[in-house]
Amino acid sequence: MAQQDTDQQHAGVLPVDDEGFVIDSEDCEERESAYRERGTSRPITVVGNPVLHKECEDVTEFDDELAQLVDDMFASQRTAEGVGLAANQIGVGKKVFVYDCPDDEGVRHVGVVVNPKLVELPAGKRVLDDSNEGCLSVPTAYMPLARPDYAEVTGQDEKGTPIKVRGTGYFARCLQHETDHLYGYLYIDRLSKRERKDALRQMAENEPRYPVVPND
């Protein structure tokens, strides 16, 4: 008798909790270093580079090229000492971001989101937090920016499995900041004219501590 084909359960890269959110706080060191060690660090694009100012393309192929991009993003994120990195920050206009970020309880989260969408939350869940924000693509500048202190993102992992990610505090800020990048927005686009100018002045006055792609 022939063995019957059974549909293989397509498990995601990360386990999920009772509510279907990825558990991205386990084995962080091992997972992050595995990505990073396979990858090559690339220079970071900075404000003014067109790739940062337009919506990135949806990812449709979950292939080796995407896996290599994710590895390179983790390597680049580590070199630049970032807590999150969007693909267009290394010059690739595809909707992918990676993160290695602590939440408001100091818990480290490591993961990948492809084709992210920010979930609109009811007003009651939106407590604004006006902590400082910075961006590897606006090197050395920091400005306070009010954002909700809780965020949920839907998307896919690097194998194409649908995922949901949620975060609090600094990690919530990171999820919003990185999703913004993939739609062509920098955090300085959310500042007042005067604050934006101040951020750009900070950037002009200091040297980045990691390789950047010069703007023409």
Residues making contact with Zn ion (CB under 5 A): 135
The pair of three-digit structure tokens given for residue 53, joined into one six-digit string: 């100012």
- Helix, coil or strand: residue 213: strand
Active site residue 195: no
Residue 101 assigned ligand-binding role: no
Dmax (CA) of the chain: 76
DSSP-derived secondary structure letter, 14: S
In the set 55, 105, 178, 195, the catalytic residue is 178
For Zn ion, which residue has the nearest CB? 135
Specify the amino acid at residue 81: E
Buried b / exposed e across 86-99, counting CB within 10 Å, b at 16+?
A: bbbbbebebbbbbb
Residue 53 assigned ligand-binding role: no
Helices (H) and strands (E) in the chain, counts: 4, 11
Q: How many residues does the structure list for the chain?
A: 216
Give the span between the Cα atoms of 67 and 197, in whole angstroms.
37
Shortest CB 139 distance to Zn ion, Å: 10
Give the span between the Cα atoms of 66 and 43, in whole angstroms.
18
Residue 135 assigned ligand-binding role: yes
Question: Which of 73/135 has CB closer to Zn ion?
Answer: 135
Task: Quote the Cα angle for 178-182-214, to 5°.
Answer: 90
Shortest CB 49 distance to Zn ion, Å: 12
Shortest CB 130 distance to Zn ion, Å: 18
Question: Which of 17/55 has CB closer to Zn ion?
Answer: 55
The pair of three-digit structure tokens given for residue 38, joined into one six-digit string: 């396979």
Shortest CB 33 distance to Zn ion, Å: 23
Could you list the active site residues?
178
Annotated binding site: 135, 177, 181
Residue set of the binding site for Fe cation: 135, 177, 181
